[in-house]
A and B are shown apart, each in its own frame.
Chain A
């Protein structure tokens, strides 16, 4: 089945630093999604990308849909302590209504 490789697996950074994480796939996706999961919560959608090459921002978050449709990255600028959590990428084949394939997650830790 589909595989999404997400890296890094974990990051421990200083508050104020920028963060970058990415996902690559062996197959193409039509939609890339980025989620954040806090302890004891379900994943919360941060950014959705629908077109190859698309670059989208949401506050301090920026994500891009790779031109090949096989990769995506998420950047967080000027990290703050509340950015702590696990970030997941997910790919979706086809249009809305298809299942999601998830990356392994990036655990972000921010030192005040």
Chain B
């Protein structure tokens, strides 16, 4: 199945700044997703990253706060904008497709001070 890498693996940021997280897959995949895992919690879907078009956001998540790019079938970015301490979470990229089901990247651990 697909192998996913994420950059950065962790970061500490100041409130009001923005961080862009990269997700790279070692093969072309149909679907890419971004999830958030708040401390001690389960995973919640932020959005589906659509190749060549705007991402599809879940309730409670908006493009201005979490802009997403997906320029091709192997790469996507998630930006956490105008960060506050409440954005401190693990952000996870996931892929799914015909031969790959529910594979997750290692996550990006974000701490906002």
Contact = CB atoms under 8 A, between A and B. Distances in A.
B102 A33 contact: yes
Nearest to B109: A40
Contacts, number: 61
A42 B92 contact: yes
* Chain B interface size range: 20 to 34
Interface stretch (B14-22, B62-70, B72-80, B93-101): B93-101
Contact of A90 (B102, B106, B107): B102
B45 A96 contact: no
A28 B97 CA distance: 21
Contacts of B13: none
B42 A88 contact: yes
Given A97-B31, A99-B33, A99-B48, A45 B103 contact: yes
Given A43-B92, A48-B101, A97-B30, 6 more contacts: A31-B101, A33-B101, A88-B43, A96-B96, A96-B97, A97-B31
